[in-house]
């Protein structure tokens, strides 16, 4: 049995990581931590959001479990109680990778992993430390057209009212908002694949396309499960095409703002076509 996580999904943000967690949390071959994004490798663990969840869950475990069921999340059991107790014990102890490994000690013979998109862009020395401590852990990344990925993240900021309305409607105000935010940093998949993939055997690193989630989610699910060593024929609660975010309001940006974003990612589009081929060729052609 592999010590610690059997896999990491390192992103990309807005490229299907929520969909993947939904597919895995109910699959019989997996035990997934009850927190989707642990942020152990990129922040001090537990961060404020996770720490708040720890306090809430441990104060009334049964109520927290019932609440998860109403939100189509897996109900909690004693393995999850141990996870939260273990996470609580990490408070104030820094990002010790042995403590991180202990968060997965309840998996038994099942497959377990951490889906945190922010891991895509962590420092190279942190990647080296992780690979040295967990040499058998598989890494996967979900790729998306960098322009559409950035626009999707901007849409999330819009729904969360992270900036005045003008920042999403007027070009100059948008430039200031965009350049001051994380939207560009999360879109450079060629850099992330190079940084992580170059440190792992080919059999332990894989990338998959968001485009396939849209066009053939059943095939994508099967491919990912096979890579992770699970049985694709076993069903989860949700069908492969399930999308809990399907009813979210979509932000429509003006043509001049879209042109600005497209220009920013021209080099990344070219590098993606060279490195990944396939759907990435269509990304580049889309904006010519």
Strand order in the sheet with 138-143: 113-115, 7-9, 138-143, 205-209
pLDDT in tens, 44-85: 899 998 999 999 999 999 999 998 887 888 999 999 999 999
Give the phi and the psi of residue 115 in degrees, each rounded to 5.
-110, 95
**The pLDDT of residue 88:** 94
pLDDT at 92 over 90: no
pLDDT in tens, 186-204: 899 999 999 999 999 999 9
Identify the CA nearest to 89 among candidates 63, 51, 34: 51
Share of the chain above pLDDT 70, in %: 100
pLDDT at 247 over 80: no
* Overall average pLDDT of the 261-283 stretch: 97
What are the residues facing 207 on neighbouring strands? 141
pLDDT at 288 over 90: no
**The pLDDT of residue 189:** 97
DSSP 45: S
**The pLDDT of residue 53:** 93
Residue 72, sorted as left (phi over 0), alpha (psi -120 to 50) or beta, turns out to be left
Identify the CA nearest to 143 among candidates 16, 247, 286: 16
pTM score of the predicted model: 0.94
Q: How far apart are CA 147 and CA 280, in angstroms?
A: 12
Residue reference for tokens 């609580």: 88
Share of the chain above pLDDT 90, in %: 83
**The pLDDT of residue 1:** 59
**The pLDDT of residue 280:** 98
- Mean predicted lDDT score pLDDT of the chain: 94
Question: Collapsing DSSP states into helix, strand and coil, what is residue 89?
Answer: helix
Question: Collapsing DSSP states into helix, strand and coil, what is residue 9?
Answer: strand
């Amino acid at each position: 049995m592999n010590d610690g996580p059997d896999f990491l999904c390192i992103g990309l943000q807005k490229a299907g990581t929520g969909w993947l967690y939904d597919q895995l949390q109910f699959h019989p071959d997996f035990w997934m931590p009850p927190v989707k994004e642990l942020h152990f490798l990129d922040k001090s663990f537990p961060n404020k959001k996770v720490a708040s969840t720890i306090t809430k869950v441990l104060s009334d475990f049964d109520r927290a479990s019932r609440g998860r069921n109403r939100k189509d999340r897996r109900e909690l059991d004693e393995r999850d109680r141990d996870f939260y107790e273990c996470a609580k014990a990490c408070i104030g102890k820094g990002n010790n990778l042995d403590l991180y490994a202990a968060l997965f000690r309840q998996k038994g013979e099942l497959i377990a992993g951490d889906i945190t998109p922010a891991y895509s862009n962590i420092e190279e020395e942190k990647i080296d430390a992780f690979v040295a401590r967990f040499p058998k852990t598989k890494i996967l990344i979900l790729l998306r057209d960098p322009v559409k990925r950035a626009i999707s993240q901007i849409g999330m900021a819009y729904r969360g009212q992270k900036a005045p309305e003008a920042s999403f409607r007027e070009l100059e105000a948008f430039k200031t908002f965009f350049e001051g935010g994380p939207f560009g940093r999360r879109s450079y998949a060629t850099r992330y694949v190079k940084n992580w993939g170059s440190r792992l055997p080919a059999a332990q690193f894989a990338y998959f396309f968001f485009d396939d989630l849209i066009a053939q989610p059943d095939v994508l699910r099967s491919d990912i499960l096979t890579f992770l060593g699970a049985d694709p024929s076993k069903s989860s609660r949700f069908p492969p095409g399930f999308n809990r975010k399907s009813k979210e309001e979509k932000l429509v940006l003006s043509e001049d703002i879209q042109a600005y974003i497209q220009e920013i990612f021209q080099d990344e589009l070219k590098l993606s076509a060279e490195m990944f081929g396939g759907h990435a060729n269509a990304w580049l052609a889309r904006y010519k």
